[in-house]
A = this chain, B = another copy of it.
Amino acid sequence: MADGRVERGNQTRRTVLERTMAVASVDGLERLSLGKIATDLGLSKSGVFALFGSKEDLQLATVRAAVDVFVERVVRPVRAEPAGTAKVWLVCERWLDYSLRRIFPGGCFFYGVSAEFDARPGPVRDEIAKARSAWTRYVEGALDEARLAGAFRDGVDAQDVPQLAFEIIALMEMANAHSVLFSDPTAYARAGRGILDRLRAVAAVPDELPQRPPDFDYAV
Chain A contacts to B: CB under 8 angstroms: 26-28, 105-107, 111-112, 114-116, 118-119, 125, 128-129, 132-133, 162-163, 166-167, 169-171, 173-174, 177-178, 180-182, 187, 190-191, 193-194
Contacts and interface: CB of A to CB of B under 8 A. Distances in A.
- A-B complex: 4 closest residue pairs judged by Cβ atoms: A115-B115, A170-B174, A118-B180, A170-B170
A121 to B, nearest CB: 10
Chain A binding site: helix, strand, loop or mixed by DSSP?
Answer: helix
A129 B167 CA distance: 24
Contacts of A114: 115, 177, 181
Given A174-B173, A190-B163, A181 B129 contact: yes
B107 A177 contact: no
B177 A115 contact: yes
Given A163-B193, A181-B132, A194-B163, A28 B116 contact: yes
Given A173-B173, A173-B174, A174-B173, A118 B166 contact: no
A104 B161 CA distance: 31
Given A132-B181, A181-B118, A181-B132, A194 B167 contact: yes
A5 to B, nearest CB: 37
24 contacts: A26-B119, A28-B116, A112-B116, A112-B118, A112-B119, A114-B115, A114-B177, A115-B115, A115-B177, A116-B116, A118-B180, A129-B181, A129-B182, A132-B181, A163-B190, A163-B193, A163-B194, A166-B178, A166-B191, A166-B194, A167-B171, A167-B190, A169-B174, A173-B177
Nearest to A169: B174
Contacts of A112: 115-116, 118-119
Contacts of A132: 181
A106 B177 CA distance: 18
Contacts of A166: 174, 178, 187, 190-191, 194
Contacts of A116: 28, 112, 115-116
